[in-house]
Amino acid sequence: MTVIEVLAAIYTHEGIHLRELCRKLQLSMPAVKNHVDKLLKEGLIIKHPEGRNLKLYLNRANRNLSSYVYQIEAMRLKQLPKQVGDVVFDLLSVLENKPILVVVFGSYAKGTFTKTSDLDVLLVFNKPDEEAERKAKLVSSRHGIRLEPVYLSWSSFEKKFFDEKDAFMKELKENKIIVTGVEYWRELENEKA
């Protein structure tokens, strides 16, 4: 068990308490506590007492967190079927106007996907790309996975990000795998905090 795996569990289950973290990681309390203490010392996580429990959260103000989040997201993407990563990176390679943020969401991000699941991908561009839809269909047919891309401009994504009532964004914030653009996502999270 590494510190990054403990941080990944806190990242995907923010507000988790120590006992629950031990259950999720299937480790003893001393082993997990040792890693949590290291993360607290580095300032990567913060703890908030709630009743008798200490809840653990990412310290979004820590600039060093970005490199860890990149690693965590890469690990999570690697845990998906290889074909999913291939489809996403193939799509990115055929797009001339590259998106600044790419997020896998839906059943693949939740871990509830089946063989017939479609691949939901959010692509955020500085300015929308008219060719993206056609190229997504091409990549989809090439790999045999139904690709369901959602396209947004940065300005509309930014507005949606801060809209507390937006059901899509609420779901996206809870269940996501950021493929590219971790720094943009973190920038918005820091603005919100």
Report the distance separating Cα 81 and Cα 138, nearest Å. 20
Predicted local confidence at residue 164, as pLDDT: 87
Q: Give me the chain's average pLDDT, please.
A: 90
Report the distance separating Cα 62 and Cα 66, nearest Å. 8
Are 24 and 56 a contacting pair, CB within 8 Å?
A: no
The H-assigned helical ranges of the chain are 3-12, 18-25, 29-42, 65-79, 82-94, 107-110, 132-143, 154-162, 167-174, 182-192
From the options 1.10.3720.10, 3.40.50.2300, 3.30.930.10, 1.10.10.10, give the CATH code of 3-58: 1.10.10.10
Location of each CATH 3.30.460.10 domain in the chain: 77-192
Tens of pLDDT, residue by residue over 152-191, are 999 999 999 998 898 999 999 989 999 999 999 988 887 7
Does 192 score more than 80 pLDDT?
no
Task: Please tell me what DSSP assigns to residue 127.
Answer: S
Copy the structure tokens of residue 142: 């090439």
Read off the pLDDT of each residue in 112-121 and give the average, rounded to a whole number: 90
Does 151 score more than 80 pLDDT?
yes
What percentage of the chain exceeds 90 in pLDDT?
52
Location of each CATH 1.10.10.10 domain in the chain: 3-58
Are 88 and 123 a contacting pair, CB within 8 Å?
A: no
CATH architecture label of 77-192: 2-Layer Sandwich (3.30)
CA angle 5, 9, 11 (to 5 degrees): 110
Tens of pLDDT, residue by residue over 16-65, are 999 999 999 999 999 999 999 999 999 999 999 888 888 999 998 888 88
Read off the pLDDT of each residue in 68-92 and give the average, rounded to a whole number: 91
Strand partners, 54: 49
Predicted local confidence at residue 129, as pLDDT: 73
* Radius of gyration, alpha carbons of the chain: 18
pLDDT band at 111 (very low <50, low <70, confident <90, very high): confident
Read off the pLDDT of each residue in 69-98 and give the average, rounded to a whole number: 91
Predicted local confidence at residue 20, as pLDDT: 94
Q: Computed from CA positions of residues 162, 176, 113, 136, in that sequence, does the dihedral angle turn out positive or negative? A: positive
Predicted local confidence at residue 22, as pLDDT: 92
